[in-house]
A and B are shown apart, each in its own frame.
Chain A
Amino acid sequence: MATPTPMEALQKEHERLLKRLKGAQSLKHVQSTIDLLQSARDTIAADPGQTVLTMAKLQNPIKSSFDSVNDNLKEVHSGLNKYTKALDKSAFCPLQLFKDRPLPSTNDHDALSEQDTLINRAIAMHLLREGQFSVAASFLSEISERKSLQSDPETSTTDPMASSPGSANNILDEVPSSEIRKEFASMYYILHEMKENNNLLPAIEWSRENREALEARGSNLEFELCRLQFVWIFHGKSHDQSIRNREDAIAYARREFQGFMPRYLREVQQLIGAMAFCPNLRGSPYASIFNNISAWDDVAQFFTREFCSLLGLSADSPLYVATTAGAIALPTLLKLQTIMKAKRTEWTSENELPVEISLPPSYLFHSIFVCPVSKEQATDENPPMMMPCGHVIAEESLRRLGKGNRFKCPYCPSESHPRDARKIFL
């Protein structure tokens, strides 16, 4: 913390400005001007004979009090200027760069301005999934109001170039708002019960209703929920670990765990086995199952993920993930844009960004295959191909290397024919 960060420096400068503004006396000087005028008026009213003298004596004080007001304003002005300079200095890169050409995109123009409908749809869905139901409702109704305005040819969106005909016409159909709202409302209800009231039953009920879909995903959500319910019953509300609680837990296990039996045999055995260690569970090998502080959060997260996945949605708001990733990527893209502008070049490949943007690993959602020979990313047109030795290269590279004959794998000594290679799916 030796050197202040740019924002600290800016904050200091702003504090100075605030102090200066607080100390500003201009109003006081205006008031004293009024007082001067008033007392002159009173003097003259009391004794009209004093008029000449009073008026003569009034000239300079009034002038000087106006001067004081102006001096004061100058002071404020220089404070504002200093702060502006600090703002200029503090690495606030001007957004001017975006003016001519916003950001890399395959289109010549701000690719998104023509997609207002899609953006609005994404926003509406974001609001719904974040549980902002009332904001979402007003947003959708404002959009439909606008839509009815738009059928009037005289009006259009802020940018007349941006509104393609009929673009806003079906947003309401595209956001099945009432359905999604219902889904998310029930998700929030279940989460609320879980987090606030330690009530897992609504979640368990939901997972049973969707058992088939969950099982098809290979999800063990239902079991995780029931296991936590078992632990919860065992601990009891007061965490007293009384005999009664243990009996309740065992009764619960007997009732509910039947269905899990073949698949989760080991886990169920652990739970029941742990009972033997009671009341000294902390010292048992099962302590982690019973005293896991994050268990509730983990299960809540797991539930959210599964719930959204069944709706075909990602667990975290895509709008959130994408804007965050965008903000992280921005410096790189900006630099790129500057270079592109200076060189007056276009993208080498218009399908792919020319630079790598390093995002945190959690922003990687797909497997990536980069051909070790051509260094190109695999696409539908140029898929990864696995040679019999198990090494993988892109199809184009395979064609180029093999030229229809047997060839040596670039990674190992084994030789194969291109037709022996198999397309794989990541």
Chain B
Amino acid sequence: MAAELTSVQLNPESHYILEQPLLRLPQELARRNFKTVQRVVEREKEYVIPALLDAANGSITRTQTPDQTLAALDAMIARMQGLKRKMEGLQEEERRIQDQSRKRIQHLQALDQIPSLADVKYDQWSRVRLDRLLVDHMLRSGHAESAKQLATEREIEDLVDIGVFTQCQRIVKSLRQGDTKDALQWCGENKAALKKSQHNLEFELRLQQYIEMVRSPDQSKKLEAILHARKYLIPYRDAQGREVMKAAGLLVYTQRTRTSFPPERWTYLSSLFVKTHHELLSLPSQPLLHIALSGGLSALKTPLCHSAYSSPSSNSQSTNTSVCPICSTELNELARKMPYAHHSKSYVEPDAIVLPNGRVYGKARLLEISKNLGAVDEGKVKDPTTGQVYDESEMKKVYIM
């Protein structure tokens, strides 16, 4: 009994494992948003203060007419107004992010109020979680429309990160189409953070640009390639010596571009981008659904789920309470390679009996089924799995420890 109680007790903290990105991502976005604010303020400060000093000096030394001073002031005012507009936009964004954080904390806090895993409220909470995991999975695999639709229908827009993933997928798509522009722009926006990353996404992108230039039949592109290499590749000489050399060699052996840098490199780039992107935002590399599902498949799987002898509950002809989720069509193949759960105790229906064909059932349930079955005479029982009919006296008690 005690074991049963602990097994249904809900421990909110253990649920946070899967929810790491739920709160981390908005926090990361808030931090970046803040950095942007800092940057734009700094930029205007660096412009306005020297400009103001110049203007003042100019007016003292009379090298500047009052009209010029006015023009200088106008320019400053215009820039400050631009700053204000930018800050307003960023503040709006900040508000949106923090509002999301607030709602997400609320969502997790709801768990504190649910004492038991058997509670209806847990069921509802867990369904919302599944919807979130599904949206996450859809977004990661590029099914943005379905993701948006599901999020809207279930009213969980604030609990999922459609914006972040949509942007990510847009860049992935452009890379697959052989375009580095968006990805490079992203690198530019995240320069500071990328310095700490161990992947050299920017170098790889620049290298790809170079390869495309060399590959081009247009001879003038060759010169462009050399200039490009000088500007963007040579600085990486120390870290990426081999690659840089290999790239340089291409200029001579143009025909080698296909073998040394095959076109599949674009696919590699897009996955490298995804990896870098997720790392930067502390997003797990695999969909959360995979994490939850692989754990669940194993926790639920029993040797019977893929047994050659159809087990009573996996059989639609049988009347056990419900079809096992692992036996159900949706997951059966998926679970085939997973390990099954470990059990240290047998679990059989109470008052188990065995029929002459070796099938084991709970006595009360078998009698109940047989009663409900048509065409079974008084005093007979029918095996719901095989359909064989036996005399009630043929039921034999079986002891399972």
Contact = CB atoms under 8 A, between A and B. Distances in A.
Interface residues of A, number: 161
A51 B69 contact: yes
Contacts of B371: 263
B400 interface: yes
B82 to A, nearest CB: 10
A10 interface: yes
Given A34-B77, A59-B53, A353 B13 contact: no
A369 B73 contact: no
Interface string B311-343: 101101111011111111111011001111111
Nearest to A122: B330
16 contacts: A31-B84, A33-B80, A34-B80, A52-B56, A55-B59, A59-B56, A80-B27, A102-B290, A142-B142, A318-B330, A319-B325, A323-B126, A323-B293, A355-B342, A367-B360, A411-B401
A391 to B, nearest CB: 5
A157 B108 CA distance: 32
A397 interface: no
A45 B348 CA distance: 95
B84 to A, nearest CB: 5
B220 interface: no
B384 A218 contact: yes
A127 B147 CA distance: 12
B27 to A, nearest CB: 6
Given A361-B4, A391-B399, A314 B341 contact: no
Interface string A365-381: 11111101001011110
A73 B83 CA distance: 14
Given A44-B73, A111-B337, A91 B13 contact: yes
A377 B87 contact: no
Nearest to A70: B41
| B interface SS class | helix
Measured as residues with beta carbon below 8 angstroms from the partner, the interface class of chain B is 35 or more
A21 B102 CA distance: 13
Contacts of B302: 365-366, 368, 377
Contacts of A91: 13, 16
Interface string B9-30: 0011111111111011001001
B369 interface: yes
B303 A327 contact: no
Interface stretch (A133-141, A192-200, A282-290): A133-141
Given A132-B153, A160-B267, A27 B323 contact: no
Contact of B316 (A309, A331, A378): A309
B299 A17 contact: no
A95 interface: yes
A215 interface: yes
Which of A38, A56, A377 counts the most chain B CB atoms within 10 A?
Answer: A377
B296 A87 contact: no
A418 to B, nearest CB: 16
Given A30-B87, A122-B331, A316 B322 contact: yes
A329 B290 contact: no
A320 B49 CA distance: 60
Contact of A26 (B55, B59, B87, B266): B87
A98 B323 CA distance: 31
A299 interface: no
A62 B49 contact: yes
A21 B6 CA distance: 42
Contact of A87 (B24, B56, B400): B24
B225 interface: no
Contacts of B17: 93, 95, 327, 330-331, 334
A331 B117 CA distance: 15
A7 interface: yes
A7 B328 CA distance: 36
